[in-house]
Amino acid sequence: MNWENRWHPLLERWVTVTGHRGSRPWQGAHVEAPPPAPTFDPNCYLCPGGERISGERNPEYDEVFVFDNDHPAFARHAPPPEPAVGMFESQSAEGVCRVMCYSPNHGVRLSQLDRNQLLRVITTWRDQTYELMHQQGFEQVFIFENNGQVVGVSNPHPHCQIFATSFQFSTLAQEISATERYRTKNKKNLFEAIVQSELTDGRRILCENREWLGFVPYFAELPYEIMLVPKAQRGQLYQMPDLELESLSGVLGQVLGMLDNLWPVPQSYILSIRQAPLGLSENHDYRCHIKLQPLLRGPGLQKFLAGVETGAGHFLNDGVPEMKAEELRSAGQGR
Ligand SMILES: [Zn+2]
């Protein structure tokens, strides 16, 4: 499986699988494992009682804690933009940015939370989505976690971010139009077709229960990339019954454990929760799912998005998805 192009049906572009390049020589720096963090850091602005840049103090919270970001990328009442000159366009970058601490424990990772704590995180993701869409009227709610120094995170306190905006981000908009084009062409739900094809092939499946399927997608752009997709058609987390969210805590815990157990250096990753925007019809094919994009291609080896990826928007995946799924499954058995 060298020099093989695979079609990415959600991004509607080719990905090149170059498995033979995974072991190429590397003379640069290796990513070191971070030192173990204490359970409480008096200087941390995310810890209970910690002082934030705004001067405000966090409450003595004991489970999940959500607050408005002190350095938001978007503003609720953003001023009107300067008129653009010539053919350029502008609009207000309107939105809300929140930070969500998963736990008061400064030194814990999402993967180390127990099943109940993980469920509490998931139900908070659900409640935040509902509130921001239905009470505050935001079109899109995008929840993501940047994990590890490789992604530029210097504070180890376990947390994610919630961006609610009045406009759509481009990858989500692309995925939504891909499901529409797939429906027109094939008369089928694209997410259902992906789930069924992964089940039929079977080699890339990492975990499965009645409600969810976890797999390294056939069309993965990064080694160790993982998708968690519900088997029922749901646009947002708040459409899922409690049982489905409980099942999600099971598969999410499993795949995070696999990533943690791969090597002595824990994986660095971007986790994103992709949900249908508010304005999309309830009958639309777009399905809420979770994507994990790990940024190490080997122990301590960072995957750089360089010339071809950044310069030309074409991904070279050094890992053969079938082999990476096998590695992840083996790592999961140690748990
Ligand atoms: Zn902290």
pLDDT digits (tens, 9 = 90+) for 271-322: 999 999 999 988 899 999 999 999 988 888 888 888 888 888 999 998 999 9
Q: CATH no. for residue 124? A: 3.30.428.10
Q: What is the C-alpha to C-alpha distance for residues 334 and 252, in angstroms, rounded to an integer? A: 16
Q: Is residue 83 part of a domain?
A: no
Residue 59 located in a structural domain? yes
Give a yes or no: residue 86 inside a domain.
no
Treating both helix axes as pointing N-terminal to C-terminal, what angle do 242-261 and 115-130 enclose, rounded to 10 degrees?
Answer: 120
Which domain range does residue 139 map to?
A: 2-78+92-333
Residue 87 counted as domain residue: no
Sign of the Cα torsion 250, 282, 181, 165 reads: negative
Would you state the pLDDT for residue 281?
A: 87
- Read off the pLDDT of each residue in 36-54 and give the average, rounded to a whole number: 92
* Catalytic residue list: 159
In this structure, is residue 84 part of a structural domain?
no
Do 259 and 145 contact (CB within 8 A), yes or no? Answer: no
Q: Tell me whether residue 264 is in a domain.
A: yes
Q: How many domains, in total, are found in the chain?
A: 1
pLDDT at 115 over 70: yes
State mean pLDDT over 166-174.
96
Cα 295 to averaged position of ligand 1 atoms, centre (Å): 23
306 in a structural domain: yes
Q: What is the pTM of this model?
A: 0.95
* Three-class SS of 111-133: HHCCHHHHHHHHHHHHHHHHHHH
pLDDT of residue 184: 97
pLDDT digits (tens, 9 = 90+) for 180-198: 999 999 999 999 999 999 9
Whole-number Å distance, alpha carbon 41 to ligand 1 midpoint, is 5
Nearest alpha-carbon partner for 299 in 2, 32, 105, 4: 32
Q: How far is the CA of 76 from the centre of ligand 1 (A)?
A: 27
244 within a domain of the structure (yes/no) = yes
Torsions phi, psi for 124 (to 5 deg): -70, -40
